[in-house]
Amino acid sequence: MRMMTGEQYVESMRERKLQVYLFGEKVDNPVDHPVLRPSLNSVKATYDLAQDPQYESLMTATSSLTGKKINRFLHIHQNTTDLINKVKMQRLLGQQTAACFQRCVGMDAFNAVFSTTYEIDGKYGTSYHKNFVEYAKYCQEHDFTVDGAMTDPKGDRGLAPHDQEDPDMYLHVVETRPDGIVVRGAKAHQTGAVNSQEMIVMPTISMGPEDKAYAVSFAVPTDAEGILMIIGRQSCDTRKLEESELDVGNSEYGGVEALVVFNDVFVPNERIFLNGEVEFAGMLVERFAGYHRQSYGGCKVGVGDVLIGAAALAADYNGCAKASHIKDKLIEMTHLNETLYCCGIACSAEGSPTASGNYIIDLLLANVCKQNVTRFPYEIARLAEDIAGGIMVTAPSEADFRDPVVGPYVEKYLRGVQGVSTENRIRVLRLIENLCLGTAAVGYRTESLHGAGSPQAQRIMIARQGNLPRKKELAKKIAKISE
Of 252, 253, 392, 373, the C-alpha closest to 311 is 392
Asked about 343 being catalytic, the answer comes back as: no
Indicate if 266 and 288 belong to the same structural domain: no
Asked about 296 being catalytic, the answer comes back as: yes
Contact 189, 229 (CB under 8 A): no
Give 268's strand partners. 180
Asked about 447 being catalytic, the answer comes back as: yes
- Rounded Cα distance between 193 and 196, Å, is 5
Asked about 379 being catalytic, the answer comes back as: no
Indicate if 84 and 192 belong to the same structural domain: yes
DSSP state, residue 72 = G
Contact 27, 21 (CB under 8 A): yes
Could you tell me which residues are annotated as the binding site for FAD? Answer: 191
Q: What integer pLDDT is reported at residue 136 of this predicted model?
A: 98
Asked about 33 being catalytic, the answer comes back as: no
Q: What integer pLDDT is reported at residue 56 of this predicted model?
A: 95
pTM of the model: 0.97
In a domain, 206, yes or no: yes
Please identify which of the residues 139, 299, 347, 369 carries the catalytic annotation. Answer: 299
Indicate if 122 and 53 belong to the same structural domain: yes
Q: Phi and psi dihedrals of 62, rounded to 5?
A: -100, 120
- Rounded Cα distance between 26 and 19, Å, is 7
Please identify which of the residues 46, 60, 145, 191 carries the catalytic annotation. Answer: 191
Indicate if 270 and 304 belong to the same structural domain: no
Q: What integer pLDDT is reported at residue 443 of this predicted model?
A: 84
Q: Which residues of the chain have pLDDT under 50?
A: none
Q: What integer pLDDT is reported at residue 38 of this predicted model?
A: 97
Please identify which of the residues 257, 385, 398, 433 carries the catalytic annotation. Answer: 257
Indicate if 110 and 132 belong to the same structural domain: yes
Asked about 191 being catalytic, the answer comes back as: yes
Alpha-carbon dihedral sign for residues 218, 219, 220, 222? positive
Which CATH number belongs to the domain containing residue 464 in this structure?
A: 1.20.140.10
| Boundary residue ending a domain (215, 246, 278) | 278
In a domain, 483, yes or no: no
Asked about 299 being catalytic, the answer comes back as: yes
Q: What integer pLDDT is reported at residue 441 of this predicted model?
A: 80
DSSP state, residue 69 = E
Indicate if 241 and 351 belong to the same structural domain: no
Give 27's strand partners. 20
List of E strands, 336-477:
352-353, 359-360
Number of domains in the chain: 2
Domain that holds residue 101: 6-278
Count of all residues that appear for the chain in the document: 483
Continuous segment of H or E residues that includes residue 447: helix 447-450
Continuous segment of H or E residues that includes residue 333: helix 324-349
In a domain, 1, yes or no: no
3-state secondary structure of 274: strand
Q: What integer pLDDT is reported at residue 122 of this predicted model?
A: 98
Q: What integer pLDDT is reported at residue 116 of this predicted model?
A: 98
In a domain, 347, yes or no: yes
Alpha-carbon dihedral sign for residues 428, 255, 151, 297? negative
Cβ partners under 8 Å of residue 455, min gap 6: 371, 374, 449
| Boundary residue ending a domain (278, 307, 339) | 278
Indicate if 147 and 198 belong to the same structural domain: yes
Q: What is the pLDDT of residues 403-434, one digit of tens each?
A: 999 999 999 999 999 999 999 999 999 999 99
Indicate if 317 and 459 belong to the same structural domain: yes
Which CATH number belongs to the domain containing residue 130 in this structure?
A: 2.40.110.10
- The DSSP line for 10-42 is HHHHHT----EEETTEEES-GGG-TTTHHHHHH
Number of other residues whose CB lies within 10 A of the CB of residue 340? 25
3-state secondary structure of 406: coil
Asked about 47 being catalytic, the answer comes back as: no
- The DSSP line for 136-152 is HHHHHHHT--EEEE---
In a domain, 481, yes or no: no
Could you tell me which residues are annotated as the binding site? Answer: 191
The amino acid sitting at 266 is: F
Indicate if 467 and 384 belong to the same structural domain: yes
| Boundary residue ending a domain (240, 263, 278) | 278
In a domain, 479, yes or no: no
- Rounded Cα distance between 287 and 195, Å, is 24
Indicate if 249 and 303 belong to the same structural domain: no
Radius of gyration over every alpha carbon of the chain, rounded to an integer in angstroms? 23
Indicate if 289 and 244 belong to the same structural domain: no
Please identify which of the residues 104, 343, 347, 436 carries the catalytic annotation. Answer: 104
> What is the rounded end-to-end Cα distance, in angstroms, of the chain?
66
Please identify which of the residues 9, 118, 291, 296 carries the catalytic annotation. Answer: 296
Cβ partners under 8 Å of residue 19, min gap 6: 26, 223, 227, 228, 229
Indicate if 362 and 255 belong to the same structural domain: no
Contact 128, 117 (CB under 8 A): yes
